[in-house]
Amino acid sequence: MKMLGIDIGGSGIKGAIVNTKTGEILTERYRIATPKPATPEAVVKVINEMIAHFHWKKSVGCSFPTTIVNGKCIHTGNLNEQWLHVKVDKLFKKRCKLPFFVSNDADLAGLAEVSLGAAKKEKGVVIVITIGTGIGSGLFYDGMLIPNLEVGRMLHTDGQIIELHTADSIRKKENLSLEEWAKRFDTLLAYLKIVYTPSLIVLGGGISKKYEDFKQHLTTDVKVKVAEFRNNAGIIGAAMYASKKV
């Protein structure tokens, strides 16, 4: 099935038409900078622009960068406080005049990787970590999603949430070297091993492209792979999610 997948991120909103059986992206990926501030009204405008770009007339899958329960945003994450308690799927449907199927971005990136990518056929606990403006996470057991895991919200030793130390945006903001950043990220991996005992951790987000340059600074003995779909996993997973819901 062909489906439009849209991935809403803290810095960019990306979309493409996807073959949901193979994960192949069938069009050039289209990217628009996330508006600042990223209010519902501003984001809806971008989503409509995205739909118009692809001349799309059918259902849409959407990866959203915060916890989503039954289509509702239950905390604002790295977007804007106006999103709190908004029924995102209903808002997009009303304003874009198309059916929308919306879920957490890391969950949907994980769906793509577990179904077709780096974690395909992996048994046991798999955690997919997306590293970008924040830290997203998807938890799977024997291929089944356990939704809305938010490991980025775990507390660091200084009492702040751990994504404020380990997100790629923090690396850029503090001008950290890859080694300095990787040692911070290694702390998160250590927490994950203790709490979840994963058989595999899959790393996604833009910085995953640099994995070969920082992997020597990670001490975890848990198997780590780079997301096969890299920064497109959210788009592909969103399209797959919609195809399952239609």
Report the pLDDT averaged over residues 88-94: 97
Residue 155's pLDDT is: 87
Question: What is the spatial distance between Cα 199 and Cα 179, in angstroms, rounded to a whole number?
Answer: 25
Return the minimum-mean-pLDDT range out of 2-6, 185-189, 199-203, 205-209.
Answer: 205-209
Closest to 5 measured CA to CA, from 157, 108, 87: 108
Distances (CA, A) of 155 to 83, 139, 144, 160, 196: 23, 18, 26, 5, 16
* Backbone CA torsion sign across 89, 90, 94, 98: positive
Return the minimum-mean-pLDDT range out of 19-23, 111-115, 130-134.
Answer: 130-134
Asked whether the beta carbons of 21 and 112 are under 8 A apart, the reply is: no
Residue 123's pLDDT is: 95
Residue 153's pLDDT is: 87
* Residue 122 confidence class, pLDDT cut points 50, 70, 90: very high
Question: What is the spatial distance between Cα 91 and Cα 236, in angstroms, rounded to a whole number?
Answer: 22
- pLDDT score of 76 more than 80: no
Residue 133's pLDDT is: 86
What is the model's pTM? 0.90
State the chain's mean pLDDT as an integer: 94
Residue 114's pLDDT is: 97
- pLDDT score of 79 more than 90: no
Residue 199's pLDDT is: 97
Residues 106-118: tens digit of each pLDDT: 999 999 999 999 9
CATH class belonging to 2-107+233-245 = alpha beta
Superfamily of domain 122-227: ATPase, nucleotide binding domain (3.30.420.40)
Residue 78's pLDDT is: 74
- pLDDT score of 129 more than 80: yes
* Residue 10 confidence class, pLDDT cut points 50, 70, 90: confident
Residue 231's pLDDT is: 85
Residue ranges, CATH 3.30.420.40, the chain: 2-107+233-245, 122-227
Percentage of residues in the chain with pLDDT exceeding 70? 100
Asked whether the beta carbons of 108 and 238 are under 8 A apart, the reply is: yes
* Residue 127 confidence class, pLDDT cut points 50, 70, 90: very high
CB atoms within 10 A of CB 106: 32
- pLDDT score of 225 more than 80: yes
